[in-house]
Each structure stands twice: as structure tokens, then as C-alpha cells.
């Protein structure tokens, strides 16, 4: 049936349903597009023969919206949406956001804080005898005892706070169908998930674990000891592999949290099947009166061709959620979706993106990964590209060429994040040339994040020299092709390990190249990442050695302001930062200086409100020999997205 899934009791009855098998509750508006986890899970279950109804952004102050849908036959499935509800609601400075791109009309406040927990409690009250299972990125990243940035404390597994029967972590197509079949066969609660990879549940000490297992520090231990927390996070990463990952146990009081081994990756045929399901590719029409759902604009004419990221930056949730193993769709599958896009009435000829977590990965890093998994003690691209790495863009290039040839397609862009270090590991310039010639619209955005090798080490990123060489290569190719296109770097301030001296080094580099970012992303400690463990513990989980962390508002403001040193409103903070670091040499008239001298630049000078200048009818004539200052090259910063 080519239609949206039911979102109300009336919708179910219109289909001749008097019940649903699964009620899928989500913190997002209902968007039936394969960029959204709710759409994928609901369509996968539908394809497996189950009746699924969607309860989108229910009233979280009562059970009325739950009860109106009726008790599902098998279970309530819950996610917070494509973005963690706390990230959706708060900035890195813990200030409340006023909008929400995943809500009709972009209005904020339509989902609760800690949505998975709140919805689970409401489901329990509405349907006391019905199993509740949680999933999505909010549940996935909180599956163990974790540091919660917003409350600044260690919290137990979200399975404990929500009271759910089980938790699906990572990408859950396999797990959700296995769970559905187990429930259909008469199993219930935690018993239904014990043998399913990609699931977590609570049991009691001494109960049989059907997989080889290992135990990490308990909730009580990590609550009392930061070193124990750092060790637990490292164990979680070590076991997050489909090939060698074991069940991981963590005691919570008298119960034991069991995380089964990760789900097996989807094969190419399985990914093709998932992305070939009958998605409507837009938001539910009931949202039209509110102005639609803004989040669709980023993805409606975009295509996801892969999953996983072997880059595994320490601050990114992808390694813990999707994993490092690369999975990809076939060319035919991607082309079919592009043809479907090209046939839409309002398609203007531009495919906005062909990517995924990282655009230019099409296969695992090396031949052994499918059978033996990814290395525990080293990474594919950090600190340098592994000698065994297969850096080859020919398959991706062939895919882009096929997409460019589709009738009605004028341009195919690549915007979802290229790993420039992976490109530099490929000696063949063919992909680089065609990328610059065909797939960029004036600027290319990449993510060096910083230029201090000290900071990049803690980020799990390659040396800045790799970015410098990439930039030079990019400029040479543009010159060779007669194009004037810019390189826009994404940058991050206050990451663990970043000192004030590191921030000054970055400001000096930006001054040298004549670029000041319009926006800067502060490090955001989201649950589950290695960088968040560094932020909380002051220890690097990889080595257990101390790491500097900028935590005070003053230190974070200084690092942020140094990246935007030219802004007049940042001058007092930049001045204070330079004084604190003993770098008054950067206050002056030389090209290397960040600030020009002024009354406030003298040590101990009293602060004085600027005098109001009289209006001038015309600007003074420019003196001979003065050069007009060059405008800073710029571009918009990345949009916040923690993945789905």
C-alpha cells in the first residue's frame, strides 16, 4: 500500500484495522523518508508483515494520546527522534533553543526533555501489561551508565530510568524484526531479547548469558570513581564490533545490564531492500497547515548511499551508534532513488547530496574487516592512514557519473562531509578533479576542526599537515580548471586537550589565511563519546593519562572568541585571553597581530565607554597608498546533527 502509515485511530479504522501490532512513538514529526529512523523501522516492520501505527509528538503531560490509539497487540516502540532530545532543546552553553526543525512549523517544545524516559513512563501507565522497547540515538548512546552534561552527573542506563523491557542500540533493522517475531511467537519482556544481537536488557546475577561476555565497572563504581568511568567507556568501544564484540555486562545495584554483541552489518542486498521500501519521501500532509516540517528541506532531494564511519573521531557519536564498519548500497539502488527524485514535480534538477555519515566511503577500510572486524588497538585514519587501508574512490566516482547522466538531473552535489584525509591517501587525482569540476557549488566544506596537533590528537583527527596539503591540492586543481571555489573549514573550540595557547595558535593561522568563521561550534559533551569521557574525568580513556579540559565559562568564552577575533564584540574577551596567555605581542599593527592597540590594551587601563562620534556627511578621503582591507572569505557553519 503506497500511503503514509496510520497516525490516528481513524486512520487505522480507514484501513480496516481495529488494532495495530506495534505502536511506534517518536519525538519527531512523522516524516516518511529514509533519512529518518522512524520511517525506516516502521517500513521494515510493515514489510515483515506487521501492522504499525505512528504516534508522533504525543502530549507528554497525560496518557490521553496513547490511549486514543488503543493498546497495541505486541509492544510499544519508542524513540526520541532523529536528534537527542536534550541536544534538540539546549545549546552547548545549556541555553534553551526556541525552535525545532523536526516539529511542524519549526516550533520548539513539542517533545519533552529526556523524551525516551518520559514516553516510556506514559506507555507503561497507558498499557500496563504491554512490553515497551526503546531505541534511536537517545537510547543508544545512553545504554550504559553515562555522564549527563545537562545535569553534570553520572546517570544510570536509560533502561533503568525508563523502565523499558529492552533497548535496541545502533542501526536496528535486524534486531526489530527478530524482536517482532519473538513477540509473535509468545515471548515477552526481556525474555524476547536475550538471544538478539543489537539488544540490551536487565537480568539478575547468575542468570545465563547466551553470548560470550565480559564485565565492565558497575554503575556504583563509575559513580564513585572517574577512572573507573573512563575504563568503562573504553571497554564499551572495544566491544562495539560485529565480528569480535562480546556481550558486555554492567551491574546496576542488584541487577545486571546486558548488552548483547552488536547487530551484524547489513549486506548490500539488505541495504538495497531497506532503501527500496515504499517511502512517501515527505512529511505527513496533516502538517501542511503549520507550514510543513523544516527538517525535510535538508534531505528531500538527497541520497544516503552508505553507513558507518571508519574515521571514528572521538567527539562523534557515529562510532558508538552506527559503528566503524562501512556498509553501502549498490549503484542500481542509488540510481533508482535518484530517478524517483527526478520524477517529483517540484524537483529543479539538483540532487543536494549523495553521502551518508561520510560521503566518500564505499567499502570497508581493508579486506579483513568483514570477517575479523576492526582493530581494537589502531584506527584506519588516525594518527596516519593505515598501511593496509584501501583508499580508492573509483567506485564512488562511477556512482556519481551514473547519477549525473540521469535525464532531468542538472547537478549532483556532495555536501555531507568528505574525509579529506582519506582523499589524501588516494594518489589518484581522478576523483578530486571531478569533485571540483562537477560536485561543488562555489565552496567545499570539510572538517579539520583545529590546527593544533595537540588538540587533534585528543580529537582522534590526523595531523594538521594533512589538511594543509589537502588545501594546497584543492587550490591547484581549482586553478588548473579555471575555477574560483573556496574551502570552508569547520572548527571546534574548547575540545578536551585544547589549551588557551592552542586557541591562540588557531587564531594566528586563521589570521594568516585571512579567514574568520561566521560561527564556531563549541565542544558539546554528548553521552557515550570518548571526548565526553575526557571532559568529565580529565583522563584520556585510551591511555588513562590526564588531559586538560576547559570547563569554566571564562575559559570556554576565551577559546571561542579567539576564533572570531575580528568581531568588535569579542575584543574585550580576546584582549583578556591574550593577557592571560602573556601574548601581548599579538596586540599591535603588524600583519601577525590579532588586535590593534587601543586605550583598553594598556595593562591596568580603566575601561571607558566609547564616546559617541558626531555624524559625518561623507567619509574622509582615503590617503594615497592605503589598501582596502580584504573581506574575509566565509561560509555558514555546519548544522547540528547527531545522526539518526
Domains of the chain from N-terminus onward: 9-199 (3.40.50.280), 487-604+630-644 (no CATH)
Residue 217, pLDDT score: 98
Residue 621, pLDDT score: 41
* Cα gap 602→501, rounded to integer Å: 21
- The tens digit of pLDDT for each residue in 435-486 reads 999 999 899 999 999 999 999 999 999 999 999 999 999 999 999 999 999 9
- The tens digit of pLDDT for each residue in 213-248 reads 999 999 999 999 999 999 999 999 999 999 999 999
| Angle between helices 553-562 and 500-513 in degrees, nearest 10 | 20
pLDDT band at 644 (very low <50, low <70, confident <90, very high): very low
Tell me the residue ranges of DSSP E strands in 253-344: 255-259, 282-283, 302-304, 306-307, 327-328
Taking the model in full, what pTM does it have? 0.91
Residue 604, pLDDT score: 55
* Cα gap 303→329, rounded to integer Å: 11
* Cα gap 263→240, rounded to integer Å: 10
Mention every residue, 6+ apart, whose C-beta is less than 8 A from residue 505. 451, 452
Amino acid at each position: 500500500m503506497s500511503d503514509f502509515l496510520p497516525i490516528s485511530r481513524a486512520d487505522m479504522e480507514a484501513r480496516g484495522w481495529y488494532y495495530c501490532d506495534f505502536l511506534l512513538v517518536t519525538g519527531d514529526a512523522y516524516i516518511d523518508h529514509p533519512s529518518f529512523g522512524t520511517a525506516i523501522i516502521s517500513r521494515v516492520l510493515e514489510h515483515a508483515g506487521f501492522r504499525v501505527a505512528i504516534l508522533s509528538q504525543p502530549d507528554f503531560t497525560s496518557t490521553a494520546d496513547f490511549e486514543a490509539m488503543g493498546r497495541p497487540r505486541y509492544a510499544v516502540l519508542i524513540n526520541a527522534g532523529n536528534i537527542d532530545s536534550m541536544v534538540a532543546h539546549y545549546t552547548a552553553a545549556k541555553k534553551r533553543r526556541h525552535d525545532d526543525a523536526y516539529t511542524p512549523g519549526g516550533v520548539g517544545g513539542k517533545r519533552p526533555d529526556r523524551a525516551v524516559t518520559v514516553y516510556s513512563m506514559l506507555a507503561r501507565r497507558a498499557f500496563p501489561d504491554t512490553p515497551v522497547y526503546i531505541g534511536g540515538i537517545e537510547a543508544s548512546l545512553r545504554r550504559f551508565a553515562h555522564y549527563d552534561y545537562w545535569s553534570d552527573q553520572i546517570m544510570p542506563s536509560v533502561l533503568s530510568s525508563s523502565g523499558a523491557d529492552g533497548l535496541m542500540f545502533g542501526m536496528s533493522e535486524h534486531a526489530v524484526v527478530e524482536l517482532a517475531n519473538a513477540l509473535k511467537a509468545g515471548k515477552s519482556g526481556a525474555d524476547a531479547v536475550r538471544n538478539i544481537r543489537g539488544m540490551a536488557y536487565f537480568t539478575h546475577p547468575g542468570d545465563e548469558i547466551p553470548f560470550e561476555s565480559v564485565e565492565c565497572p558497575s554503575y556504583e563504581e563509575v559513580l564513585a570513581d572517574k577512572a573507573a568511568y573512563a575504563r568503562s567507556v573504553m571497554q564499551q568501544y572495544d566491544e562495539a564490533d560485529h565480528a569480535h564484540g562480546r556481550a558486555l555486562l554492567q551491574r546496576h545495584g542488584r541487577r545486571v545490564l546486558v548488552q548483547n554483541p552488536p547487530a551484524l552489518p547489513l549486506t548490500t542486498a539488505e541495504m538495497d531492500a531497506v532503501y527500496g521500501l515504499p517511502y512517501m519521501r515527505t512529511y505527513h500532509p496533516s502538517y501542511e497547515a503549520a507550514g510543513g516540517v523544516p527538517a525535510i528541506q535538508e534531505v528531500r532531494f538527497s541520497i544516503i548511499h552508505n553507513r558507518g564511519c571508519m574515521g571514528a573521531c572521538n567527539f562523534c557519536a557515529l562510532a558508538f551508534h552506527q559503528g566503524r564498519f562501512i556498509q553501502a548500497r549498490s549503484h542500481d539502488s542509488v540510481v533508482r532513488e535518484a530517478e524517483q527524485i527526478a520524477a517529483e514535480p517540484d524537483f529543479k534538477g539538483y540532487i543536494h547530496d549523495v553521502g551518508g555519515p561520510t560521503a566518500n566511503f564505499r567499502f570497508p577500510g581493508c579486506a579483513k574487516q568483514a570477517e575479523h572486524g576492526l582493530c581494537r588497538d589502531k584506527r584506519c585514519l588516525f594518527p596516519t592512514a593505515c598501511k593496509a587501508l584501501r583508499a580508492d574512490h573509483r567506485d564512488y566516482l562511477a556512482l556519481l557519473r551514473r547519477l549525473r547522466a540521469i535525464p532531468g538531473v542538472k547537478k549532483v552535489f556532495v555536501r555531507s562531509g568528505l574525509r579529506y584525509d582519506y582523499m589524501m591517501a588516494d594518489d589518484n587525482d581522478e576523483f578530486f578533479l571531478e569533485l571540483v569540476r562537477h560536485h561543488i557549488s562555489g565552496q567545499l566544506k570539510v572538517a579539520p576542526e583545529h590546527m593544533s596537533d595537540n588538540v587533534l590528537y585528543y580529537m582522534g583527527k590526523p595531523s594538521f599537515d594533512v589538511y594543509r596539503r589537502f588545501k594546497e591540492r584543492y587550490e591547484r586543481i581549482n586553478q588548473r580548471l579555471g575555477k574560483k571555489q573556496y574551502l570552508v573549514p569547520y572548527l571546534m573550540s574548547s575540545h578536551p586537550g585544547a589549551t588557551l595557547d592552542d586557541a591562540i595558535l588557531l587564531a594566528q593561522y586563521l589570521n594568516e589565511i585571512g579567514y574568520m568563521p561566521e560561527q564556531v561550534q563549541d565542544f558539546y559533551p554528548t553521552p557515550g563519546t570518548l571526548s565526553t569521557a575526557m571532559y568529565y574525568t580529565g583522563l584520556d580513556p585510551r591511555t588513562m593519562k590526564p588531559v586538560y579540559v576547559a570547563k569554566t565559562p571564562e575559559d570556554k568564552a576565551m577559546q571561542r572568541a579567539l576564533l572570531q577575533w575580528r568581531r568588535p564584540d569579542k575584543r574585550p574577551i580576546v584582549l583578556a585571553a591574550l593577557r592571560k596567555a602573556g601574548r601581548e605581542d599579538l596586540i599591535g599593527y603588524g600583519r601577525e597581530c590579532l588586535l590593534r592597540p587601543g586605550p583598553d590594551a594598556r595593562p591596568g587601563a580603566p575601561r571607558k565607554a566609547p564616546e559617541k562620534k558626531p555624524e559625518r556627511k561623507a567619509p574622509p578621503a582615503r590617503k594615497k597608498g592605503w589598501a582596502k582591507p580584504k573581506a574575509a572569505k566565509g561560509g555558514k557553519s555546519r548544522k547540528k546533527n547527531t545522526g539518526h
